[in-house]
Structure 1
Amino acid sequence: MSIWQDRHVTVVVSGGIASYKAIYLIRQLMKQGATVRVAMTPHAAEFVTPLTFQTLTQQPVVCDEFTLQDPQHVVHVELADWTDSLIVVPATANIIAKMAVGLADDAATTTILATTAPKYVVPAMNSHMYANPATQRNLAQLTADGMHVLTPATGMLAEGYAGQGRLPEPDVIYDWLTQQHLLQATDLPLHGKRVLVTAGGTREMLDPVRYISNRSSGKMGYAVARVARELGAKVTLISTPTALTKPAGVTYTEVTSAADLAKAVKADFEETDLLVMAAAVSDFKPTHAVDQKIKKQPGQTGLTLELAETEDILKTLAPLKTHQFVVGFAAETQHLIENAEKKLAAKKLDMLVANDVSKPGVGFNGDTNQVTLLTPNSTPMTTNLLSKTEIAQTILKAAIERGV
């Protein structure tokens, strides 16, 4: 379950060229289960219409303090009392100044002043306005008052030149907001737990330019890391090089080979409560890697490689287990359950996640997966074809139910 599930979020939109980006942040919050209401300054309504936000949120938009939809409630007080989290995005220099001195002269600022819930401020303005001592004093005052302030990005501004003051992208804002909430939450199912996740396909070098690897994209492991973080865990992600964005709020370690991965996992294993070995580890490596690129030779008809087995990381960890709950993965193309049950027993795993990667939409590179969860002395449970985020939620829920 997302930390945003069933949360009441008020987004205060002030008037700036970046006002439209609030739409994308609101959509992301709603996808994670939040109910969102919007309050707008009069200047914000010049950039994005209230109807846009009302249509998106399916909630009334507060623009005018003197419009009484419910005569029994004062508009800004009712919205403030409803709010679990308040986000000002974009926060212009003007609204920041008003917040710093407690000025409330419209529906948006009266709502802010009446709200006792945690407040999050995302500044966006011209770089000179941001650097102005008055703005910096005001931001320092907001921080002193207990508000959370995100540093603006550096990039191209509406004025046509680059500088600090640009609104961060909605994904960046969402990750920051989520991390801020996780730092405050103590009632999440993995709060206080250390989760170690591995991801990606290891690479075994043949020469400086070639390697043996597999088709793993790392998406499954990254999804597990993100979901574990959202469930309150302190997460370490050990990953091979991928094209994926590193999850926010997660400790990240990059490795290349199976030996590198084994070393990194062993270094963190003692302090780990839950290990999810989602990485696709190469089973073999060249017996001898060479320092120079292997060149074709005149008359050559082929090349013979001598391979040796890599370390079986899960099997090595089995004798070291004390309190750890260990989850392994098995990508199979035939005899799924039979092969998975053998691996579950041989490696003394607490859970095995098996999938038939010969099926369409399952396994490597895609955004979906279908898995079978196996645990000792239990009937295997097979999921439907789901997104990898939903599969990650299923895996972690099962681990939690078994005492992690």
Structure 2
Amino acid sequence: MEPASRLGAGVSKQEIREKIWDYMEAQNIADFPRPVHHRIPNFKGSSHAAERLLHLQEFKISRTIKVNPDAPQKNARFLALEGRKTLLVPTPRLRSGLFNKIVPPPGATKEILRKCATSQGVKNYSVPIGLDSRVLVDLIVVGSVAVSEKGWRIGKGEGYADMEYAMMVSMGAVRKETPVVTIVHDCQVTDIPEELLGDHDLTVDYILTPTRVIVTECTRPKPQGIIWSMISDEMMERIPILKNLHFREKQAGKDITLQKEHLKHLKTIPIQAPLQNTDQIASSRPVDMDHAAPLDKECVTSKKESSSVTTVYVGNIPKDARVSDLKRTLREHNAVPLRLNWQGAQGRAFLDYKDQSAAESVISSLRGLSFNGNTLWVNLAKKQK
């Protein structure tokens, strides 16, 4: 597998993902469900890779293990159950809580345990675990799209593994020394530039592949808890457990400023130094959504049209993101602007739409969106508030 370092300067997380997904499909390494794009990819040999857990001392002495629900970790779930360990699996997309505990029927055979370890088994043989359960997780097994030998990890881009870990920290379910293991194909082990990582990104301590066990000796700190300034109102509604954790951390006197309040605070701060006002933004070179080049004359709005143009501010863009990443995301969400002013170095962009109604519709569709691992801050640009 070609290292990310050879993909060119300024490689993004998404480019690394796409490279690995494409390679696994082209080389027929991928396994059901296919295609593996936009997934934690399953691969041929995943069961053998998972068996290396049996040789880890941390697995042998663990009593409670949290394993993600993706296909390549199915055998890891089975091995935990066969070893009579307490198996926790995150609830799908965190809709109804954080964990489900798998409870096999009394006297379950190996065949039944294997069924319990499947996605259907998780539904049929599990019970929810509440925040007051005082559970303590001894070992965490996560999926990855890419991982480096230094322990730096890239997921599929939705941020759920990072969020799950942050929640476990908040509820006291993990300690800083709790080991994190990922199970991947050898081709998924690649160079990842450290500048792509944020404070919210989860790192791993062990990498298990069909051919080896990699001890990363990673010294980069794991997430210290939920970064509330990255959490939107929409995320709070979509993931109800966040409300409970938010209340608990407020009671504990922690900083629980949400994205909305954080953005209100930013309104009192110059957008950049020196301040760039809306007139300056309007005079910036517009960016074509397909080619990141100046727009053709026919695409540039007339003076009359520009008088009603409404600008949307998009912030918290990851350092590794490229304008092409944002353009693709905007197309996928039917949010293509008249103009795009890209300021990636400052982690932001400004999008022009024909009127306020169109702009507010875009804000509604983009707010709370996970973009290359970060939750976007989306609002009307300052002058229009």
Name which structure has the greater RCO, CA cutoff 8 Å, separation 6+: 2
Pairwise TM-score range, normalised by the shorter structure: under 0.3
Question: Based on CA coordinates, which of the two structures has the bigger radius of gyration?
Answer: 1
TM-score by length of structure 1 reads 0.27
